[in-house]
Structure formats: C-alpha cells, structure tokens
Structure 1
Amino acid sequence: MPDDYLDALRVEPDAMAGMKKGLANALAEGRTPLLVGEIDGRIVGFVNFGRCRDEQIGGGEVFAIYVLPEAQAGGLGHALMTDAVKRLRTDGHEEIGLWVTADNAQARRFYERFGFIPSGRVQPLPAPFPPVEELHYRLSLPEPAV
C-alpha cells in the first residue's frame, strides 16, 4: 500500500466495534475460521480462511494472514498457514487460493516457499483502496492418505 494511504488511516471506535461484532458473528456461525498465534499470552499473529469468495475460482481461500514484525522469522506464520491448509483440506478443498498485492515481495516469498504458485489472475484492489494490483496464488493439495 502507498505510504500516504497508510498514513491517512485512522482507528474509529465505532468502526472497530462494528468489525468486532461482525467477526464474532461470523466465527460463531462457522463462516470464517480464525486461528491466532500467541507468544507469552499475547496475540502476535492470525490467519483467517474459508470457502473461496469467488465462485469462478472455487476451493478454499486464505483471506488474511499476518504476524507482527517482531514475531516473524520464528516459524509462527508457517505454523498458522499449515494449520489453515490442513483444516481446509479436511473440509474437502483440493485447492487453496489467496490474493496478495503485487509489490509485497516479502509475502510473495513466504507463499512461494510454502508451495503456492501464481495462477495468472490479476485484479485491482476494490474501492476505497488505492489503485494497487493484486496477484492470485494457488496451492493444489494432495489427496489425503488413507
């Protein structure tokens, strides 16, 4: 994201309350699993995943994964992604996708090391985001061992 866009972001209490309520409802209804990673009782990362939002693509989707910078490089991101992929496979998904901004080289390296490959799909971020291009990555899952 462009620095000027990020610098202009503000935390609005009403918006945060609405997001918290929406996420709680989605979690309670099983619509969007969320796993968190903790260090010394403090949440330092999360992964959010579920059925792909785009029916043309299908499969499972990792909607978001984030680990605080001070907790990166310790294996937490890999552990979160591994658990999300395992759960999506258990739910019957044979392929998992995700979207990443084209200029996020660190995230792209992480996904590629995990086994995701570019699918060739490209899209701009939707409004109200700035005009930033997203790339789609996919991961084909092997059949579970019997």
Structure 2
Amino acid sequence: MTHVREMDAADIEAVSTIRVRGWQAAYAGIVPRTYLDAMTVEADASMRRQWFSSPRGESMDLVAHGERGPVGWVCFGPCRSPLPGPLRVAEVYALYVSPDLTGQGIGRMLLGEAHSRMEGQGFGASALWVLRDNRRARRFYERAGYRADGAAQDDVYGEVTLTELRYLRGL
C-alpha cells in the first residue's frame, strides 16, 4: 500500500534517484541525451542535502512511500512568478514517479495531496510549468484539471532551447 507523507532527510537518496531517473525517462527524445546522461544521482543528492539542511521557506516536499520505500516525489510552494488577480497562487515545482511505476496512480495521489495541502494553506489556484514537447505530462496535468494559460518561457539544456508552457488550475 502506497501512502503520502512529508519527505525527511532519510529520503534524499531515493528522491534523487526518482528525480534523475524520472528526467532520463520522461525527457528522452526531448532534452539532449548528453544533458540527460550527465545527470547523476550523487550530484543531485549532494545538492538536495545542502538544500534540505537550510531553511526552505514555504516550500514543501512530499513522498509517495510504498513497500520499497519512496516511489514518487512532489515539491510545491508559492508561485515563483506571481499572477495578477485576487487569488493566492501556489506552484508545483516538481513531480516525479519512479519510471517503472508510472501509470499506476502514484503521480495522481501525490498531486491530489499537494492540492489538498495548498488549499489548506490558503491558496486558491495552482500553477506549473511543463515542457511543450512533453505530451505525456501535458495529458496527465490536463486530466488533473490544469489548462495552459498562454504563458511560455524558454529554458536552455546544453545547446538546445526548449519551451515550457504554464498551466493553471483552481483549487
């Protein structure tokens, strides 16, 4: 049985593995292979340990914990680029599931818990950024009620520039 709980320091290695393997699986054919191959669990875990040991402000990390330990991770907090209007907007910064477990409802469970906690913190909407060419992720977020709002930004991966689209959802 998988359940969602707050991440703790003991989860760092597992979360780094989920993130790096998730990137390598989800972005294959989108992000340059050289960029993906250069990612390591060790480097990610080192960065995450530093980040985890410092004050994190209002962001929150949750893990989906199953029989084999953490199998998914979501990080969220206040929207980094505030939107006009009366609603206080949160942002999903990252959501990854172990690649061998995608399609089993773990991402949906993590996102649902993140939405509940956002709402409990007084947020009225949630935003996130998704690579335009990541059709699988876009379908996932659209099924969860997110819609592209027309905002776009470019990110550089190696020597390739990729476009991200902003998605929004009411809570």
Fold match by TM threshold 0.5: yes
Distance in 2 (CA, whole Å) between partners of 1:138 and 1:3 is 30
* Counterpart pick for 2:46 among 1, 12, 17: 17
- Tell me, yes or no, if structure 1 residue 48 matches structure 2 residue 78: no
Contact in 1 for aligned 2:32/2:157 (Cα 8 Å): no
Deviations 1:36-78 (A, max 9, x none): 0122142111000010011246610000000011111211111
Encode CA deviations 1:76-127: one digit per residue, 9 max, x unaligned: 1111000001111111111110000111111111000000000100000157
Q: In the superposition, relative to structure 1, how do residues 126 and 4 fare at CA in structure 2: closer, same or farther (>3 Å)?
A: closer
CA distance in 2, matches of 1:133, 1:30: 28
Q: In structure 2, the residue corresponding to 1:132 is in which secondary structure?
A: strand
Equivalent pair of 1:99/1:136 in contact (CA under 8 Å): yes
Q: Which residue of 2 aligns with 1:62?
A: 92
**What is the match of residue 168 of structure 2?**
138
Label 1:40 to 1:105 Cα distance change in 2 as closer, same or farther (>3 A).
Answer: same
After TM superposition, where is structure 1 displaced by more than 6 Å over at least 4 residues in a row? Answer: none
> How many residues end up aligned between the 2 structures?
138
User: Greater CA deviation, 122-131 or 53-62?
Assistant: 122-131
Please report the RMSD computed on the Cα atoms of aligned residues, expressed in angstroms.
2.2
Gaps of 5+ in 2: 1-30
Report the Cα offset of residue 10 of structure 1: 4.3
Larger relative contact order (C-alpha < 8 A, sep ≥ 6)? Answer: 2
Matched-pair identity in %:
35
Q: TM-score under structure 2 normalisation?
A: 0.72
Deviates more, 1:46-55 or 1:57-66: 57-66
CA deviations on 1:20-47 (whole Å, 9 max, x unpaired) are: 1213424xx5531000012214211100
- Structure 1 unaligned spans of 5+: 142-146
